[in-house]
Structure 1
Amino acid sequence: MSDRAPIWERQGSFPRSEGDGTDFAVWAPNARAVTVFGDFDDWRGVDHPMTRDADGVWSATVTDAGPGTQYKYRITGADGVVRDKADPLARAAQCPPETASVVTAPSSYVWHDDAWLDHRASVDHAAAPMSVYEVHLPSWRPGLGYREVAVDLADHAVAHGFTHVQLMPITEHPFGGSWGYQVGSFFAPTARLGTPDDFRFLVDHLHGRGLSVLLDWVPAHFPKDPFALGRFDGTPLYEHADPLRREQPDWGTYAFNLGRAEIREFLIASAVYWCTEFHLDGLRVDAVAAMLYLDYSREPGQWRPNARGTHENDEAVDFLRALNDAVHRAAGGAVMIAEESTAWPGVTAPTARGGLGFDYKWNLGWMNDVLDFVSRPHAERRRAQERLVFSLTYATAERFVLPLSHDEVVHGKGTLWSRLPEGSDRAAGVRALLAYQWTHPGAKLLFMGQEFGQRDEWSDVDGPAWGLLDDPQHAGIAQIVADLNRLYREYPALHARDNDADGFSWLDATDTTNSVIGFLRLGAQPTAPGQTVACVFNFSDRDLHDYRLGLPRAGRWREICNTGALDYAGRGVGNLGAVHTEPVPSHGRPVSARFTLPAESAVFFTPE
């Protein structure tokens, strides 16, 4: 980005401080004519023609327009077609299904999070706990706006011990059923839930409760709705001019032309705008793989190789590096997270070392393998255990987030609860699965409703089935999530060396007969309190008694968690609070202990 003022201060609508009108500016370099129109001229579209400068930016001043005015641009394109378009730089929009832009005055919101932002810039995120609660805000508590939901959402996330809240896209979008992933306005919070300042209140309140706020942000594509960015000035302006690169076939949308400087500036400005104007603590960048590969979801003949004859999209690589560097410069301590589903090297490596510059990458391989494992009948799990533990062979190759996201509870996939084998103790299975997620190296992400084991797939209309919390089994799942988050924060062994291979050591990964695995999580000083935790999992459907495992240190090992405990509506089978080592070498360790491992459960121990 240049040294000029950011694009959102140069284009869009700007009410004059004297109250004598509003200045409008829009980039449409190939248009034959542009007129701004709206409720100030009864939507006639002929009274306020705009003038063009050398950069292709059209401007006009309308004396009858001010804050709250609704408007669009009537553009006569290079192809002679007249189109009515929303403002790409609008900071507010009409509530869908209406599609006009709205003039907004400069924000009057008074922030209260200066100390939060100062602290955020000093945090070593790689060594800090990161437990993310993913939320679709319109359906979390249907009917509540940004301000109303703020208190309930903060209370819920804090009570369950999460450190971050990640919002599915609240950038304005015409179709609610897209969940925000088909964006109509890249600078406006959805009006379904309130005003931009209402959204500021939400972020500020979450910060005040100790919660970081992330936003799902979508630069890979945009919808073909007539009012949106497509053929904006009668040419493929925002979308790629090459027909083989113009569309994202999976979603029936247009792909941005990332090779054009003005489009890169537009998108990077959007990212920086959200992180600076709304004090967001980072962005989860959607569909990174769709940008990185020229042949993504395309058959032979449907894509064109790069100059080297390969399938990498060099323009996207340059864009993502510039994006991450810009956000890191503009918003100290903000994190950038990639939804990247392939083995692209160096996603979380710094750009100075040839990486893409993200702080984290979603580990979708872990997600697929662990859900495949737990969905199998118990008799078949022994054949899949190698897949369950495979992710530990590459756990530090990138800085990972372990996602159990909205994508896994829709479109017939079921839920964490319903994926488990029919006839099994599903509540126990969900508790064990979550315990495995929370002790596996990597940050954690859990979609709303799964923190209490929602039974039915998520509905973006109805939201979570909160009534299940009256059922002891589901209340027990909610309690184990809260306790896992507490242990995750309190024990450095469980988070401080997520990205260090020496922070993990196997106890046993090969007992497929009993579907048992065990490992150590280790902090920087393994002999210090809280710096060693032994995690043992019994994924079979039977209790195992006197199960011997080697341990690195003699003495009493205190049980700090048993997912089968009565507190979680389990059966109460366990180790009476501790195990004691015996001078019997096992599993390559100098001493060992005999454990009681409840069926479909996890037990954690720390040495005293």
Structure 2
Amino acid sequence: MRHGFLARIFTIRHYMHSSLLRIFICQATYYPGLCEPISQGGLGFDYYVNLSASEMWSSFLQNVPDQEWNMNKIVSSLIGNRHSTNKMLLFAENHGQSISGGRSYAEILFGDIKEHGAGSKETLLRGCSLHKMIRLITFTIGGRAYLNFMGNEFGHPKRVEFPMPSNNFSFSLANRQWDLLEKEMHHDLFLFDKELMGLDENEKILTRSLPNVHHVNETTKVISYIRGPFLFIYNFHPTDSFERYSVGVEEAGEYRIILNTDEIEYGGQGNIKHDQYLQRTISRRIDGLRNCLEVSLPCRTAQVYKLSRILRI
């Protein structure tokens, strides 16, 4: 009965507003037929939400030391069911995790910045680095759509709590502090988010072929994948940096960094100099691919390379 009711609603919706409205449903287990056409017996939803991604990040941030993060777990949680990836929507952080007693990722990572002592610089650097890396890999590794929780784009530090009897109907946490956009760390995180959104607007990342995840190393904490002409590389290791880290690519040519989480303007340290932004492949088979790049890979950073020139050998 419920299936038939929803099917009728979506039939009318598609008929009247086929290009104006997209409907998705939060569904952790991917109910069969959820996003299949109504004409084929499905429910006709445009997207389903992969809830396991945000649950994984929340668990890692609160319960797992950085050096024990599992790279294969990250990849498998974000990619989800390959048979349904074309209909998958991802978010790094969802509203339910920071409502009424929960904590936003920024609050977990930074705590109360005013109370930071001598270790505040290291805390802020770690928090900014992971906040950017989590958003970048969640946005680009899988699925066809991405949802941003309001305030996540600039690291809003407080949870959301609506007026209710338990808080005497207070509005003190029922808001977003937009003035933070002009302040140091939050301004840097917001600039990165704008660049991340611009990456998809200009390069159409989400509409390209699904990624080939070709390098996942638990020892070095490095993840790399290719999506169209783009190479994504992440070093989640909390302390180890690499001057010449080898990752595979199929096409021989020149690859240029188009997004770097370690840029100073995004709250990074600027460890990769601009004369290192352009790299040429080496004819050496690695990761099952015909060529490789040897790249600088500082700890807790990620880079996006674009194939800018193909070399025919």
> What's the TM-score, normalizing by structure 1?
0.44
> Partner of 2:214 in structure 1?
507
Inter-partner Cα distance in structure 2 for 1:421 and 1:450: 13
> Partner of 1:405 in structure 2?
94
CA shift digits 1:553-608 (9 cap, x unpaired)? 11210100001111202100226322221112111111111111222221000111
Inter-partner Cα distance in structure 2 for 1:533 and 1:373: 27
- Provide the alpha-carbon RMSD of the alignment: 2.0
Task: Report how many aligned residue pairs link the two structures.
Answer: 277
Whether the aligned pair in 1 keeps the contact of 2:54 and 2:94 (CA below 8 Å) is: no
Inter-partner Cα distance in structure 1 for 2:137 and 2:82: 14
The 5 Å alignment of 1:169-184 reads none
Aligned equivalent of 2:153, options 424, 446, 451: 451
Distance 1:412 1:455, change over 3 A: same
Aligned equivalent of 1:561, options 259, 267, 270: 259
Letter in 1 for 2:189: I
Inter-partner Cα distance in structure 1 for 2:297 and 2:107: 24
Q: How far off is 1:341 after superposition?
A: 2.6
**RCO higher in structure (CA 8 A, sep ≥6):** 2
Task: Select the structure of larger CA radius of gyration.
Answer: 1
Aligned equivalent of 2:103, options 410, 414, 420: 414
Whether the aligned pair in 2 keeps the contact of 1:514 and 1:538 (CA below 8 Å) is: yes
> Partner of 2:46 in structure 1?
359
> Partner of 2:307 in structure 1?
607
| 1:578 maps onto 2:278 in alignment | yes
Inter-partner Cα distance in structure 1 for 2:101 and 2:141: 27
| 1:346 maps onto 2:47 in alignment | no
> Partner of 1:436 in structure 2?
137
> Partner of 1:316 in structure 2?
2
Q: How far off is 1:396 after superposition?
A: 4.7
Whether the aligned pair in 2 keeps the contact of 1:349 and 1:358 (CA below 8 Å) is: yes
Q: How far off is 1:421 after superposition?
A: 8.4
Q: How far off is 1:347 after superposition?
A: 1.0
CA shift digits 1:138-180 (9 cap, x unpaired)? xxxxxxxxxxxxxxxxxxxxxxxxxxxxxxxxxxxxxxxxxxx
| 1:491 maps onto 2:180 in alignment | no
Q: How far off is 1:393 after superposition?
A: 5.0
Q: How far off is 1:477 after superposition?
A: 0.7
Structure 2: gaps of 5 or more residues: 112-121, 163-170, 309-313
Whether the aligned pair in 2 keeps the contact of 1:428 and 1:600 (CA below 8 Å) is: yes
| 1:552 maps onto 2:250 in alignment | yes
Inter-partner Cα distance in structure 2 for 1:372 and 1:516: 20
Q: How far off is 1:538 after superposition?
A: 1.2
Inter-partner Cα distance in structure 2 for 1:477 and 1:393: 27
Letter in 2 for 1:602: A
Q: Which runs of 4+ in 1 moved over 4 A?
A: 421-424
Helix, strand or coil at the partner of 1:419: helix
Helix, strand or coil at the partner of 1:503: coil
CA shift digits 1:456-513 (9 cap, x unpaired)? 2124434112232233221111011100111111113x1223xxxx53211212x011
Inter-partner Cα distance in structure 1 for 2:181 and 2:22: 33
Distance 1:396 1:367, change over 3 A: farther
> Partner of 2:311 in structure 1?
none
Distance 1:332 1:466, change over 3 A: same
Structure 1: gaps of 5 or more residues: 1-314, 523-531
CA shift digits 1:432-458 (9 cap, x unpaired)? 111112212221111111110011212
